[in-house]
Chains A and B, each alone.
Chain A
Amino acid sequence: MSVKLMVVAGPPSAGKTSVIRQMIRHLRETEKVAFLKIDVVAAFENEELEDEFGIPTKKVYSGDMCPDHMSIMVIRDALEWAESTGSTVLICESAGLCLRCTPYFTNSLGICVMSSLSGTHAPLKMAPMIGLSDICIVTKTDLISQAEKEVFRECIRQVSPDMDIVETNAIQGTGMKYLFRRVDSAPVLDSMDDLELRGIPPLGVCTICIGKKSVGWQNHCGVLRRLDDDENIYRGE
């Protein structure tokens, strides 16, 4: 196979789709792009992008599962699908539930999108999502003060000192040339064997995950935690 995989991660309403629009506009001159959207209960981006650009798109609803967990499950199938449509690039957009992970893969481009409106401490709260990405796009910077712009950048640097940071108003497309440079040099994935997670996401497999509604550790099995515990404990069935 020969596909460039690009994962776009970030909280809801950060501007991921606006960034992806700019990427598609740039990429379609030289590549054939396919788009996969993973969301919990509702998503419209696939129809919008299909209408606008006439590219193959697909949508997966993850329901009770975290969309990032879902993306780990379906990514190989999705790459096969993209290849079957003759595409050379697969862009996968996913908004995780807790924003502490978002699976970036080896031999792909990991793009983290955050809104500068999310507050100056947001980068510290979403540290793993930033730390494992290749490039961090900060959107809506036209709306905040110079002071906060600088502080926001400093917080990202605290998480990841050498991070490639692009500040943008993604709707206007300002600053996008620096993202395009990374997009153009993204690695080509030749084999599924080269595809692995970059880090271990905090995915809990437990009785809450399978739909049990009772609360308190007393009522659950799997990975548990009591208030004063320093570490997780495990209890089998």
Chain B
Amino acid sequence: MEEDDFNPEVVKRFMFVNRKAPYGTVYALESLETVLISAAFDQDVSVVFADDGVFQLKKGQDTPGINMKNFSPTFRALDGYDVEKLYVEKESLEARGLTEDDLLVDVEVLSSKELSKIMAAQDVVISN
């Protein structure tokens, strides 16, 4: 890539799609780290939680018993990095018997149809 290919004036729409439960695999943590890195580039970032990804936001995670770091509080810090668009798919929540009250951070709950539209409008989608 030529050095002048990166134009900081161009803001692209980046969407991160989280579809995996936390802890069982490393995908959820890796995705969160990627979101934090992307925030440093002043892009238009949104983060989606669908399928088992909604479990990443479940309140009350308590991980010392499995010797892993509880990374869920970091979702509450995303706001401080100007990552404010957190979307949760309503259908995924319902399939798991969860409601918005079970989540540890303020999110926008969207139907599949609404989410589909926002997804289609992105420049870059990174799925985990």
Same complex for A and B? Answer no
User: Which chain A residues have a beta carbon within 8 Å of chain B's beta carbons?
Assistant: none
User: Which chain B residues have a beta carbon within 8 Å of chain A's beta carbons?
Assistant: none
